[in-house]
Amino acid sequence: MELEQIRARIVAAANRAGRDPADVTLIAVSKVQPAQRVQAVLDAGQRVFGENYVQETQEKWPGWRAVFPDVQVHMIGPLQSNKARAAIELFDAIHTLDRMSLAKKLAARAAEGDTLPQLFIQVNTGDEPQKAGILADELPGFLAACRDLGLSPEGLMCIPPEDQDPVPHFRLLRQLAGDNGLPLLSMGMSADFESAIAEGATHVRVGSAIFGARDYG
């Protein structure tokens, strides 16, 4: 199945970059995919999945988690502040911490005793007005504010502009992570995960190359 090929390509890309393949986590992005495709990928041993929508995750994952207790589900889509509480329960990681109001919501839940998922800050590396994320210039200030709230983001995430070479964006993200003492880098999708690994990705988010095209119909 495609999963085996993607795994092999991840190992090869890591080896070419002189990196340990074990340092690259494959997130199988299962949003909108039919249950039988997700089931097949679970049966093939994949345990880390990515989802974009809180409601879809609520409907889909509790059942599978009961069968596969070691499953991890990562939130990679935009997160509304009023769904922060649900997201904390549903996800093992949130890759889309992209604004102060969400940071405050998460910090408030932590103050109430909730254990927060692992956090990645989304960076708008292409400075795109319609795209979520912290601007590169504003990252140090945002990170300091997060830490003041008691949050401990561990990495950065980006979605490069669709019409551009992603590599300069991956390099910028790695630079920003290094400058700010963050060890994790969530970058690279079906079309470019190998170049992301060459640039230091620790988490690649691969959907259609594993599951086939998404049918939004």
Q: Which of these segments, 3-11, 147-155, 167-175, 204-212, binds ligand PLP (CB under 6 A)?
A: 204-212
> By CB under 6 A, is residue 143 in contact with ligand PLP?
no
Least separation in angstroms between CB 49 and ligand PLP:
11
d(CA 34, CA 31) in angstroms, rounded, equals: 9
**Phi and psi for 45 in degrees, rounded to 5?**
105, -5
Closest CA to 78 of 109, 122, 118: 122
Question: Strands (DSSP E) along 37-188, which ranges?
Answer: 48-51, 72-75, 93-97, 118-122, 155-157, 184-186
Own/partner contacts of 104-111, CB < 8 Å, gap of 24 or more, are 104/149, 105/81, 106/151, 107/149, 107/150, 107/151, 109/84, 109/85, 110/150, 110/151, 111/150
Q: Which of these segments, 34-42, 136-144, 168-176, 199-207, binds ligand PLP (CB under 6 A)?
A: 199-207
Q: What is the residue whose two structure tokens read 């910090």?
A: 107
Q: Which of these segments, 37-45, 144-152, 174-182, 206-214, binds ligand PLP (CB under 6 A)?
A: 206-214
Which of 159, 177, 182, 184 binds ligand PLP (CB under 6 A)? It is 159
- Between residues 182 and 187, which has the closer beta carbon with respect to ligand PLP? 187
Residue whose C-beta lies closest to ligand PLP: 207
Count the site residues for ligand PLP by CB under 6 A: 13
> By CB under 6 A, is residue 74 in contact with ligand PLP?
no
Query: Which distant-in-sequence residues (6+ apart) come within 8 Å of 197 by Cβ?
Result: 10, 13, 14, 17, 19, 24, 188, 204
Least separation in angstroms between CB 144 and ligand PLP:
25
Query: How far are the Cα atoms of 10, 114, 203 from residue 22, in angstroms, in the given order?
Result: 10, 30, 11
Which of 52, 58, 72, 195 binds ligand PLP (CB under 6 A)? It is 52
- Between residues 167 and 209, which has the closer beta carbon with respect to ligand PLP? 209
Write out the binding residues for ligand PLP, residues 83-142 only, by CB under 6 A. Answer: none
Which of 28, 29, 79, 93 binds ligand PLP (CB under 6 A)? It is 29
Q: For binding to ligand PLP (CB under 6 A), which residues are involved?
A: 29, 31, 52, 76-77, 159, 189-190, 205-209
